[in-house]
Copies of this chain bind each other. A is one copy, B any other.
């Protein structure tokens, strides 16, 4: 048996696993990350990169909002620390903000409700007319009303993942290119046998439900397709901010990248572990993107891809020790990039025995558990 029994195992090298590994190694932990495709194999590589807890808030979902905002507050420092490692240009954090666009009367009413809710909570969110919104983002289509959310940010997800990978390596993290097949509080089994650790963090995203009985059924794959496009000579430039909208009942977002790039996402299906890019998914995203930002029709379509989010029942992740002592850092639903800093800080607190960040207690893994689910999970095992 491989023995790293003074060390920390992190199962999964998406944004959560890499953030945890980098931060823990920087604190002096001996860290091993197990993943056959670090950075590139999971949902965070496919994502748009929105850090938008306010624009995505909704009455009744206060736990998600509080945790998201807690992490958003930690983002600038997280990005600065990462840049300070000197291994990579950094996370591509943009502070240009987010707008939400409504294209019909019903959507505009929804935005008005959201604006009142957010200002009631003291958040910065301004309801504006369509004309005002188009002054801010002139490339938008015939928009009825909008919401300006200057505090919601975005990152370049791929730049971030590469920066985290480089920083983790710099800090001595060992990467084992194998999949975990089973795990316990002090052991991870892979194809090459068991490895011992002092502690194990489960950050396997959509696959977490198959690796731990307490998460079986609670974390499920939520397929998402995205497009990557690029402005061409003579086309309108991409929006300066993230643009969110709902088109024919489906949410869509457009997140700019430097150099004229644009990410359009995302479909959302429950389709098991399927990551096929479908004709329907691409067509729906193209239709929606053209509705929101007509100039995109002349952009180059450079990539179509699909990933599997780690869906949770209530969109809130599962953070904290499971009953057998494995630490869960998973179930981040559509918010893994946003929640990476607060999740990494929570793991450090668990390991140090200090108080974890505010909001994480609402994310404890047993919050929704019924005996039936736990029993079902254990029986499946």
Contacts and interface: CB of A to CB of B under 8 A. Distances in A.
14 contacts: A227-B279, A229-B279, A278-B297, A278-B299, A279-B290, A279-B297, A279-B300, A280-B290, A280-B298, A282-B282, A283-B286, A283-B290, A286-B286, A304-B304
A299 to B, nearest CB: 5
A277 B227 CA distance: 13
Q: Which 3 A-B pairs have the closest CB atoms?
A: A280-B297, A283-B286, A276-B300
A286 B282 CA distance: 8
B229 A276 contact: no
Interface in A196-240: 227, 229, 232
Which of A282, A287, A304 has most B Cβ within 10 Å?
A: A282
Contacts of A145: none
A299 B274 CA distance: 13
A270 to B, nearest CB: 15
Interface in A230-277: 232, 276-277
Contacts of A287: 283
A296 interface: yes
A301 interface: yes
A194 B229 CA distance: 42
Contact of A298 (B278, B282, B300): B278
B301 A277 contact: yes
A289 interface: yes
A286 B285 CA distance: 11
A300 B305 CA distance: 11
Given A278-B298, A279-B286, A280-B298, 11 more contacts: A232-B276, A278-B297, A278-B301, A279-B289, A279-B290, A279-B301, A280-B290, A282-B282, A282-B301, A283-B287, A301-B304
